[in-house]
């Protein structure tokens, strides 16, 4: 893997003054030297979203001027490997004392870089875990490419601010952070018109909870939950009476998706039901063409012989800017939908034109 090209932490600091101009809220957290050194360290080890490399405060605290001048990939990779170990040494000449890790984490990262979408926090890492959990957002990291200066830097910084610091962008980031809890507690999912379901902690159950409690009431007329499954759960939740009424056998052996919703009163379709198959993607597993065909075959073979229009297919993600969505959306089946926890009132339609040959104007 080729690591990002580097500029000095002093140059990073100079660029922060351009990226975050006077008048910005909490600017003090964003332009301090400790912030510049945190960004430099993330770039030094390659902790940029999508690379699956993550820093902890100790990576910054234990950086030194001598280490920072070693720009070869081997030296940088070795530093990351050593400092990522649970019992990594505290070298001479380190930038900060060991007891500065907490203020660095709270003031620079959690109250500074994360709220403005400059840095992302990895979900599913326990609070007590020594694993790194922070990485720079790719668009933000690009503002520190060597050679970017003058008017080009001003333009790039303005575009980044427009994209990431609007009220909508900040609200979206806040929702993702709230959903990406690292709590070790189990997750309670309240089914509409039914019981609650307890799921183990983790990113997938968090998305499942949002699908049931947010997506279903927003996009279905009279939603019910027929099935919830999670890889960490010992047994799936199933509504046996509803399953019997539908005439469909819901069995893990049939490779059902993570959630099966049923709309008992789909708007504009009186007397019908709509079966909604939802795949939850925290890492992989979207609704592909093959998956869609298998599920359509399943409902077609039921006693009621459901038609394709009696089913809907949804792939649920935490955020469309995160790696799972960027990586798997090209594989989504046509005539399916994508929904994002971070933008709960939005829905992406993979319109293929076969079931509704409408012109573009009719889709607006």
Q: Which fold has domain 187-363?
A: Trna Endonuclease; Chain: A, domain 1 (3.40.1350)
SS (H, E, C) 122-139: CCCCCCCCCCCCEEECHH
Position 41 scores a pLDDT of 97
Contacts of 58 (CB under 8 A, 6+ apart): 83, 88, 98, 101
Judge whether 253 and 226 are in contact, CB under 8 Å. Answer: no
Dump pLDDT digits (tens) for 93-134. Answer: 999 988 888 889 888 998 889 988 899 988 776 666 678 889
CATH 3.40.1350.80 maps onto the chain at 187-363
Pairs from 69-78 (Cβ < 8 Å, separation ≥ 24): 71/6, 73/1, 73/2, 73/3, 76/3, 76/44, 76/45, 76/46, 77/3, 77/45
| Statement: residue 182 has pLDDT above 50 | no
In percent, the amount of the chain with pLDDT more than 70 equals 87
Q: At what angle do helices 203-210 and 167-179 cross, to 10 degrees?
A: 120
The torsion angles phi and psi of 274, rounded to 5 degrees, stand at -125, 120
Dump pLDDT digits (tens) for 318-343. Answer: 888 777 888 899 999 999 999 999 88
CATH 1.10.10 maps onto the chain at 9-179
Position 169 scores a pLDDT of 64
Please tell me the distance from the alpha carbon of residue 206 to that of residue 182, in angstroms, as a whole number. Answer: 10
DSSP 3-state assignment of 337? strand
The mean pLDDT value of the chain amounts to 86
170/118: higher pLDDT: 118
Position 304 scores a pLDDT of 85
Closest residue by Cα to residue 44 from 132, 127, 152: 132
- Structure tokens given for 270: 């009186």
CATH 1.10.10 fits domain 9-179: yes
Dump pLDDT digits (tens) for 309-323. Answer: 999 999 999 888 777
């Amino acid at each position: 893997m080729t690591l990002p090209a580097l500029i000095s932490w002093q140059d990073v600091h100079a660029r922060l003054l351009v990226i975050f101009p006077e008048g910005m809220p909490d600017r003090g957290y964003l332009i301090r030297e400790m912030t510049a050194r945190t960004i430099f360290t993330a770039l030094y080890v390659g902790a940029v979203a999508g690379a699956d490399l993550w820093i902890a405060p100790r990576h910054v605290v234990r950086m030194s001027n001598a280490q920072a001048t070693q720009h070869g990939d081997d030296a940088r990779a070795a530093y990351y490997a050593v400092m990522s170990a649970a019992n990594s040494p505290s070298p001479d000449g380190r930038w900060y004392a060991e007891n500065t890790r907490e203020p660095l984490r709270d003031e620079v990262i959690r109250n500074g870089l994360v709220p403005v979408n400059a840095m992302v926090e990895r979900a599913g890492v326990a609070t007590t875990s020594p694993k790194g959990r922070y990485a720079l957002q790719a668009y933000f990291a690009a503002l520190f490419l060597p050679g970017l200066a003058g008017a080009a830097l001003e333009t790039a910084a303005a575009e980044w601010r427009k994209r990431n610091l609007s009220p909508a962008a900040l609200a979206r980031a806040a929702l993702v952070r709230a959903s990406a809890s690292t709590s070790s507690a189990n997750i309670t999912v309240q089914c509409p018109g039914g019981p609650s379901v307890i799921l183990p902690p983790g990113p997938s159950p968090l998305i499942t909870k949002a699908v049931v409690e947010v997506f279903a009431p927003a996009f279905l007329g009279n939603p019910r939950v027929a099935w919830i499954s999670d890889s960490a759960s010992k047994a799936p939740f199933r509504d046996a009476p509803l399953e019997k009424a539908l005439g469909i056998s819901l069995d893990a052996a049939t490779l059902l998706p993570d959630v099966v919703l049923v709309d008992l009163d789909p708007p504009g379709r009186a007397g019908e039901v709509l079966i909604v198959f939802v795949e939850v993607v925290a890492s992989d597993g979207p609704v592909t063409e093959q998956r869609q065909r298998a599920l359509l075959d399943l409902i077609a073979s039921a006693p009621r012989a459901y038609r394709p229009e009696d089913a809907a297919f949804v792939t649920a993600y935490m955020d469309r800017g995160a790696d799972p969505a960027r990586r798997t959306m090209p594989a989504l089946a046509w005539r399916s939908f994508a929904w994002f926890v971070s933008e709960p009132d939005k829905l992406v339609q993979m319109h293929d034109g076969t079931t509704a040959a409408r012109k573009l104007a009719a889709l607006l």
